[in-house]
Structure 1
């Protein structure tokens, strides 16, 4: 996931009303707010990208 795509995901989460801030989106992903800052600069791995998609599309955990 590129830095631009991660930043776009944050904006999409906020516009969908799923996260009010970067910190809240970080909490939903299970990462620190500092990690969000880093991902805005360096991007994210495939697992994080999949988790971002799952959160945005309101998918329930697989069980």
Structure 2
């Protein structure tokens, strides 16, 4: 569910690492610019391994 929520809220599929960072809760300038830090999707998957998140988002961005 959280995975789909992130994909629904962030339409860009140009950077799987960015999507994984949002899911994991890693702040970046882009996260700040998009005002995602206070969004419920930010850090919504921080109980997962970052590498697993990255792999899943890489599949979505192809």
Quick check: TM above 0.5?
no
More helix by share: 1
Q: TM-score, normalised by structure 2?
A: 0.29
